[in-house]
Amino acid sequence: MMEFQPGEERGKDGRRIIKVRKEDLVSTLSKLKSEGYIHLSLITGVDRKDFIEVVYHLHSFERNEYISVKTVTYNSEVPSVTSLWKSADWEEREEYDLVGIRFIGHPNLKRLFLPENWVGHPLRKDYDLKNVQYINVDEEGEDYATFDPGDGW
């Protein structure tokens, strides 16, 4: 993969893609939000093997256009944007759950779908699909994951 350069480019369908360093992420997003991009459509983490790319899709109701903001992280840590959008809460939890991005400053960074003690993050490219994990419910009604096929289903 090529080196990451901050800047702006056009995507495959002619849409603006703004590339920022992860230190400038929150300030860029808050500037965009004040410009009218108030609808956070999607947060995506893409595992590029040696780094993780995080893509934010924003939409403006007034201008009726959407743009994406891209950043990369090499230590899978990204500043959280929960202070800007409340919808980022669950989206970041989902990305933490499945891709394993740690969002710094998230108030409640827990797994969204999988049980808390699940081993690995499934959407990572190095996740081992052969290592089957089973889920069961404990006495308290909380789910837990286990490698023992006799314990769960």
Partner 1 sequence: MVAMSDWVELNIGPHHPSTHGVLRLKARVEGEMVREVEPVIGYLHRNAEKLCENTFFCDNIIYFDRMDYVGAPGMEVGYLEAAEKLLGVFPPERAVWIRTIMAELSRIASHLIWLAAFGLELGMLTPFFYCFDLRESILTIFVEASGSRLLTNYCSIGGVYQDFNEKITDEVEKFVQDAPKKVEEINSLFIKNDIFISRNKGIGVLDKNVAIEYGVTGHMLRASGVEYDVRKAEPYLAYSKVNFEIPTSTKGDNLARYLVRIEEIRQSIKIISQSIKKLPEGPFFNPKAKKSMMIRLRGDGEVYARTESSKGEFGVYIVGDGGVKPYRVRVRSPSLRNLSVMRELGRNVMIADLVSILGTTDLVFGEIDR
Q: The tokens of 59 are what?
A: 């939409």
56 binds partner 1 (CB under 8 A): no
Binding mask 99-138 for partner 1 (x = CB under 8 A): -------------xxx-------xx---x-----------
125/53 Cα distance (integer angstroms) = 13
133/137 Cα distance (integer angstroms) = 14
- Mark the segment that binds partner 1 (CB under 8 A) among 19-27, 59-67, 71-79, 145-153: 59-67
Which member of 6, 8, 9, 15 binds partner 1 (CB under 8 A)? 15
Nearer to partner 1, 25 or 85 (CB): 85
13 binds partner 1 (CB under 8 A): yes
DSSP 22-76: GGGHHHHHHHHHHTT--EEEEEEEEE-SSSEEEEEEEEETTTTEEEEEEEEESSS
Chain-centre distance for alpha carbon 149: 30
153/91 Cα distance (integer angstroms) = 27
57 binds partner 1 (CB under 8 A): yes
Binding mask 19-48 for partner 1 (x = CB under 8 A): -------------------xxxxx-x-xx-
Find the length of the chain: 153
- Binding interface with partner 1 (CB under 8 A): 11-13, 15, 38-42, 44, 46-47, 55, 57, 61, 64, 66, 68, 85-87, 89-91, 94, 98, 112-114, 122-123, 127, 141, 143
